[in-house]
Amino acid sequence: MENRKSGAIEKKDQAGGIVFVPGGVCAPAGFRAAGLHAGFKAKSRKPDLALIYSETICDAAAVYTTNKVKGAPIAVTKAHLKNGKARAVVVNSGNANTCAKDGLKIAKRTCAIAGAALGTDAGDILVCSTGVIGKTVPMEPFERGIPKAARIVLATDSGERYAGSAAAAEAIMTTDLIPKEMAAEFTLGGKTCRIGGIAKGSGMINPRMATMLAFVTTDANIDAGLLQAALREDTERSFNQISVDGDTSTNDTLILMANGRAGNRRITDKGPQYRIFAEALNKVTTALARLMAKDGEGATKLIECRVSGAPTEALARRIAKTVVQSDLVKTAVYGSDANWGRILCAVGYTPGRFKADRADISIASKTKEVAVCKSSFGVDFDEGIAKQILDGDEIVISVDLNDGKASAAAYGCDLTYGYVKINGMYRT
């Protein structure tokens, strides 16, 4: 059962042998985290610095924004991950360290401070930033906050670990309304393993090969190369299927660290154990992706588009994302208007080779469903029921192309007056 306030999992939810559990990035053995106010958000006392730490060195992988303008922390993190190893991640919110004077020097200095505070090599520290682009980055909050965060994680006992994940999830937020954390438990070779994550993202959301900011930890033992492969494959089905506003951030980073503490036999090929790991990873990342889409800036409703009957999965993914990204679909959902023509229109202008003249479309809530289109023609439907569905906070749009066997889903949100207000005054 999902906790709507925090985005955490309170009760276990069995799904295909994978069980959702509490704890976020601290659910896997050997991981600790902290979040605190360091001073990046000068007008607020909200947490703005997070630290995620592993007791032992990790195999690690990451994917990043495809925006040609990139934050300085990405360059440093890429360099530190060339050997596929990492020990900790430092994240600040409130300043993106993008197009900022001395940004590269500051990102490197951040890693040096964290390495000294944690007693590890600076090259094993990864760094991420999120917030306003183009602002000068102050060094003082890092100098004040990192040693304090390090003391917290080094002193954390096993009974306090979960609180660290929640604090870190809050500290990486910018315009997010809720912290986002998720974790799951599964079995590899008779060993109980866990995978957990935290994420932030509310606006400037249209990930390509990465997400806003997301950090995933696992105690599974898996080769770094396979970790990278799993991350890239998974991202296409989870985070890359989110869209809030069609903008791709300059700082998008998704990091996955595995410390092997679960004790399973090391995964070194794409066999059955790899596939189990990949499935567990997808459960966590998809759950986080849904939370991000629902928490879009100004959003009141989550939109999930499920496409079936497509010639290929890649096409199904593309069509689903085009639908949730359509401003006309998003505004119709906001106004609870069952204007199915906008959905079919978005399907039709999606690039790719497929037939659009036999599509069946329905809209659904958690309790009701109504068909609005059959074979690409309108059908009679109860407008009252349709409005009840669209008045809900989670809407599913189903599109069956009847042109193949592939399927996929994408996640978005409605477009509201609130989005304009937030972004019209983002810096102020």
Q: Is the pLDDT at 418 greater than 90, yes or no?
A: no
Q: Is the pLDDT at 408 greater than 70, yes or no?
A: yes
Q: Looking at residue 160, what is its pLDDT?
A: 80
Asked whether the CA dihedral 83, 88, 94, 97 is positive or negative, the reply is negative
What pLDDT digit, counting tens, does each position of 210-237 carry?
Answer: 557 999 999 999 999 999 999 999 999 9
| Residue at 94: amino acid letter | G
Please state, in angstroms and rounded to a whole number, the distance separating the CA atoms of residues 64 and 72: 12
Whether 211 sits among the annotated catalytic residues: the reply is yes
Which secondary-structure segment (H or E) carries 10?
none
Say which residue the tokens 């972004």 belong to. 423
Q: Looking at residue 397, what is its pLDDT?
A: 98
Please state, in angstroms and rounded to a whole number, the distance separating the CA atoms of residues 219 and 31: 8
Q: Looking at residue 209, what is its pLDDT?
A: 54
C-beta of residue 214 within 8 angstroms of C-beta of residue 190: no
Q: Looking at residue 6, what is its pLDDT?
A: 45
Q: Is the pLDDT at 62 greater than 50, yes or no?
A: yes
What pLDDT digit, counting tens, does each position of 271-304 carry?
Answer: 999 999 999 999 999 999 899 888 777 789 999 9
Provide the phi-psi class of 306: left if phi over 0, else alpha when psi is between -120 and 50, else beta: beta
pLDDT band for position 11 (cuts 50, 70, 90): very low
- Which residue out of 65, 130, 211, 285 is catalytically annotated? 211
Q: Looking at residue 2, what is its pLDDT?
A: 34
Q: What percent of the chain has pLDDT over 70?
A: 92
Please state, in angstroms and rounded to a whole number, the distance separating the CA atoms of residues 137 and 109: 12
What pLDDT digit, counting tens, does each position of 330-344 carry?
Answer: 999 999 999 999 999
What pLDDT digit, counting tens, does each position of 109-152 carry?
Answer: 999 999 999 999 999 999 999 988 888 999 999 999 999 999 99
Q: Structural domains in the chain?
A: 13-294 (3.60.70.12), 302-424 (3.10.20.340)
What pLDDT digit, counting tens, does each position of 161-199 carry?
Answer: 889 999 999 999 987 888 999 999 999 999 999 999 999
First-last CA distance in the chain: 37
Please state, in angstroms and rounded to a whole number, the distance separating the CA atoms of residues 411 and 396: 9
What pLDDT digit, counting tens, does each position of 14-52 carry?
Answer: 545 899 999 999 999 999 999 999 999 877 889 999 999
